[in-house]
Amino acid sequence: MTDKNEIVIALLGQPNSGKSTLFNALTGLRQHVGNWPGKTVEKKEGSFVYNDRKYLAADLPGTYSLSANSDEEIITRDYIASGKADVVCILADSSQLERSLYMLSDFAGIDVPCFLVLNMDDVAREQGKEIRVSDIEDRLGIPVVLFSATDRKGYDKFYAALEKAVENKPLLNSDALEAKYGQIPEYVSIRSIIGDISDNSKSSMWLAAKAVEGDAPVVSRIRTLLSDDKAAEFDEAVKNIDKGIVKTGECKFAWIDELISGSVNKSKKTVELGKFDRLITHRIWGKAVVVITILLGLLASFIPALPFMGLGSAVGMLPDPLNEMMINAGCPAFIAAIVCDVLIRCLGFVIQMLGFVFGVTFVFGLLEEIGVMARISYVFDNTMAKFGLQGKSVMPFLISFGCTMGGAAGTRVIDNWGQKVLTIALSWAIPCGAAWAVVPMLSTLFFGAWTPVIIAVILIVMILHMWLTAKIFGGSLVKPENRCGMIMELPPYHKPKWGALMRYVFGRTKDTFIRSLKVVLIVAFVFWLLSYTSSGDASNTVLFKVGQAIEPVTMIFGMKWQTFTAFVASSLGKEGALGVLSTIFSGTGTLSVGMMAGGEQAANLNELLLANITKPEALAFIFAITFNMPCIVALAATYQETHSVKWTSIIGLYYTFTALVLSGIAYHIGLLIW
Amino acid sequence: MPMQDLIRLLKDGKSRSVGMIAAELGMSVEQVQRDIEFLEQNGIIRRIEFSMCGDCSGCSGSSSGEDRKTCPGCTPEGGFKNMGVMWEIV
C-alpha cells in the first residue's frame, strides 16, 4: 500500500508474456517512467481505479527468471520480496505453458500474495489446447485467470482474480516443488544447515534452492544470517556443488509438467518432417539429394547468365571497328590500342561474367531465404566430423562459396586454433564467387552444353580435395577430443522476401562488377604493356621470350605459356586470368595472329580463344584457376585469422602446387577424351 | 534427469537437431526447446553467432565502414537469417 492509499500490484513475467500489453491496458495514459534506485534499469509505474479502489501497477523488467544473472533479475526479486507490492501478478503464455511457467516455478518459495495470469488464451485455443483453470487453481492455491490481454472484453475475469488476491492474500503452494528438491542431496544438506531462516519473504526453501544454484548474492546473504560454524559448514556444502542450476531446473520443470498434466488437453498433433526434410536426413540418399540440389541450383543460375553472355560478346565485337574508326579520326595508335584492346575487351569479358554472378547469387540467396541452405549445412555436419571439424565449420564453408575472405573471418566462431586453421585451409578449396563467374563462363565458351558436367566434376573434385587436405593437415592440427556436440535447429520453410533478396543480388552483382573490372583492367593493362610493340610483331617482347622459354615446363601441367601466365595472374583474383587472356590473345599487336590457322583476323575474342586453346588445355586451365589460391587478399585474411606465417605460407604453397597437379591430371584426361 | 542427459548427449561430438534429441531422450520437441532455452539463459550452452565478413576489405560495404558485421558484397542485409540456430556447450 502506498501513502496515497493505492494497492500496489507488481507485474512479473518473461519477455513476450504480454506484460506490457496488460500494463498499458490497465493504466492507459496514467504512466510514469523512472529508474530503479542506483541502477539504469527502467522503472515503469501506472495507476488505475477499479470498483472505487485505487491501484498502482509496477511493470517489472521482463526477465527469464529470478536468478542473479542480471541487474534486472536481482532488482525484480528484491522488489518482490521486500513486501512493497501488495500482490504479485505472474504472467505466463498459455500457448506454451511448459516453458513460460518457469517464472512461476522460480517465484515459488517467495511468500508474497499472488495470482497467476495465463495470457494469450486465444493462441492456445487456436492450437487446440484446452486449459482447465480450476485444476491449476487447486494445485497452486492461488487465483488463476485464463484470458487474453489484447481482448478488452475479457478483463472482468482479471479484475475478479485481482480483487480475490487482494482480499484473501493467497500464497503459492510450493510443497510439491519442495518434495522434488528433496531428491537433490545437495539441497537436503544445505536445507538442514540453514534450518528455517528466511530473508524478507524469501523462504528457507527458496534460499536453499538458490544456494544450490550457486546464486552469489543469496549465498553471501545466507552466510550473514548464520552463526560462524554453520556458515563454515554452509560454505563447504556450497563449494562442492556442480551444475546445481541444472538440478533445480529439472525439479522446476518436472513440477510444471505435473502441474499442467491433466489440466491441459492438447489435440494431438504429431509434427512430421516435411518430404524434403525426410529426403535430406536420409542416411544414404541425404547427401546425394543435397548434391543434386546444389547442382540443379547452379544449372538454374546459368539461365539468367545467357543474355549477359550475348551482351558481353557484342561488346567484345566492338574493338576492331572502333580501332579503325579511331585511327581514321586521327587518334594516335597507342591510345586507340589502349581503349580497344584493354578497356573495351575487358569490359566485354566482365559483362559476360556478371551474368553468372547474378545467377549464382540469386539462386543461392533464394535457397537460403526459403530455408534449404540450413538443411544443406545440416546434412554435411557429420561429414565435418569426419574431417575432424566442428559442425559450425559448415558456415564458414558456405560463406566461402561467396567469398573466401568472408569464410576466413567466419572462422572466428571456432575457438580451437587448430580447427580454425584447418577450416580456413579447407575453405580455400571451395570455389569462391569470382570462380563461379569465371569458370562457368570459360566452360560455356569451350564446352558449350557440357558445362553442367564440368561443374559437377569440379564439385566432386572439391569434395575430394577437401577430404585429402583434411587428411594431410588434420593430424597435426586437430585432436578428435576437441570436437564437442551441437544442437541445430532447422528454420521453418518460408516464402522469400523478394525485395531484400533482389537488393542483395543486385548489390553483389554491382560489387563484383566494380571489383572485377578493377582487377581485370589492371592485369590487362600490365600485360598489354608487356606485349605491346609498335610494329605489331610481338615475338620480340620479353614476355613472349620468357613465355616460350618456360613453356616446356608449363606444358607438363597442360598449360601453354599464355594460359600459364593467366593462371599466375589468377592468384591476384580469379578475374585476373581474364585480364591476361584478353590482352595476350587479342589486339592489334596480337601475339596470336601468327599462330592462327590461315592468319585470318578473328572478329572477336571468344573465337580467338577457341582457335588458340585446345579443349584439353582449356580443361587444364579451368581446373588450375578454380583450385588456385582464391586471391591475394584471401591470403592476407588467412594470415590475419591464423596469426601464423608458417601456416599461411604452407596453405598458399600447397594450393598453388595442388592446382598445378589437378591441371596436369585434367589435361591428360582431356587428351584421352578429345 | 532430462537436462543432464541432454548435456551428456552433446559430449560425444555429434550434432543433433532438436527433433533428434527429442527422439533420443523420449521427450517432446517443446520440452527440448524449453531445456535449450534454460541452458542458454543460464550460460551452460551458447548460441553460435556468426560474424559473416569480419573486416574483409574487398567488399564495398565494409570498406565504406558502415556495418562491418555484414556487407552487401558477401551476405544479404542483416546477414543470413534463415540458416537455423546452433548451440554449443560453453
Residue B1 sits in the same domain as residue B40: yes
Put simply, the chain A residues between 89 and 118 with a CB less than 8 A from any chain B CB are 96, 98-99, 102
B29 touches chain A (CB under 8 A): yes
pLDDT of A102 reads 96
Number of domains composing chain B = 2
C-alpha to C-alpha distances, A436 to A294, A447, A626, A627, B6, nearest whole angstrom: 13, 16, 9, 12, 41
Alpha-carbon distance B12 to nearest alpha carbon in chain A (angstroms): 6
Q: Do B82 and A65 touch (CB under 8 A)?
A: no
Q: Which domain holds residue B78?
A: 49-90
| Number of Cβ pairs < 8 A linking chain A and chain B | 216
At A631, phi and psi to the nearest 5?
-170, 170
B79 touches chain A (CB under 8 A): no
- Note whether A7-172 and A176-266 share their fold: no
- SS3 of residue A650 by DSSP: helix
Residues of A in contact with B87 (CB under 8 A): 486-487
Of A250, A365, A381, the CB nearest to B76: A365
B50 touches chain A (CB under 8 A): yes
Alpha-carbon distance B88 to nearest alpha carbon in chain A (angstroms): 5
Residue B28 sits in the same domain as residue B54: no
A7-172 domain in CATH 3.30.1330.50?
no
pLDDT of B74 reads 60
Of A249, A257, A412, the CB nearest to B3: A249
B2 touches chain A (CB under 8 A): yes
Q: Do A633 and B86 touch (CB under 8 A)?
A: no
| CATH code, B40 | 1.10.10.10
pLDDT of A1 reads 75
pLDDT of A369 reads 86
pLDDT of B55 reads 46
A405 touches chain B (CB under 8 A): yes
- Which segments in chain A show pLDDT lower than 70? 267-276, 280-281, 480-483, 534-538, 586-604
Residue B42 sits in the same domain as residue B64: no
Residue B60 sits in the same domain as residue B88: yes
User: By the 8 A CB rule, do A629 and A566 touch?
Assistant: no
Cell of A196: 528455517
Cα separation, B30 vs A501, whole angstroms: 32
Residue B67 sits in the same domain as residue B85: yes
DSSP state of A603: S
- According to CATH, the topology of domain A176-266 is Helix Hairpins (1.10.287)
Residue B43 sits in the same domain as residue B55: no
Of A99, A250, A374, the CB nearest to B82: A374
pLDDT of A598 reads 36
B65 touches chain A (CB under 8 A): no
Residue boundaries of the structural domains of chain A: 7-172, 176-266, 280-673
Alpha-carbon distance A257 to nearest alpha carbon in chain B (angstroms): 10
pLDDT of B62 reads 40
Q: Do B51 and A409 touch (CB under 8 A)?
A: yes
Cα separation, A336 vs A501, whole angstroms: 41
In terms of CA atoms, which chain A residue is nearest residue B10?
Answer: A485
Residue B53 sits in the same domain as residue B34: no
DSSP labels, A132-146: -HHHHHHHHTS-EEE
Of B51, B72, B85, the CB nearest to A511: B72
ipTM higher than threshold 0.90:
no
Residues of A in contact with B26 (CB under 8 A): none
- Is the pLDDT at B82 greater than 80, yes or no? no
Q: A473-497 burial, b if ≥16 CB within 10 A, otherwise e? A: bbeebbeeebbbbbbbbbbeeeebe
DSSP state of A199: B
Of B44, B48, B54, the CB nearest to A392: B48
As a whole number of Å, the end-to-end CA separation of chain A is 94
At A486, phi and psi to the nearest 5?
-140, 155
Q: Do A374 and B59 touch (CB under 8 A)?
A: no
In terms of CA atoms, which chain B residue is nearest residue A406?
Answer: B53
Average pLDDT over residues B53-71: 43
How many CA atoms are closer than 13 Å to the CA of A91, on its beta-carbon side?
A: 29
Residue B41 sits in the same domain as residue B72: no
C-alpha to C-alpha distances, A3 to A8, A44, A54, B76, nearest whole angstrom: 11, 18, 12, 56
Cα separation, A20 vs A31, whole angstroms: 12
Q: Do A413 and B49 touch (CB under 8 A)?
A: yes
Residue B79 sits in the same domain as residue B53: yes
Residues of A in contact with B34 (CB under 8 A): 98-99, 102, 253
pLDDT of A267 reads 62
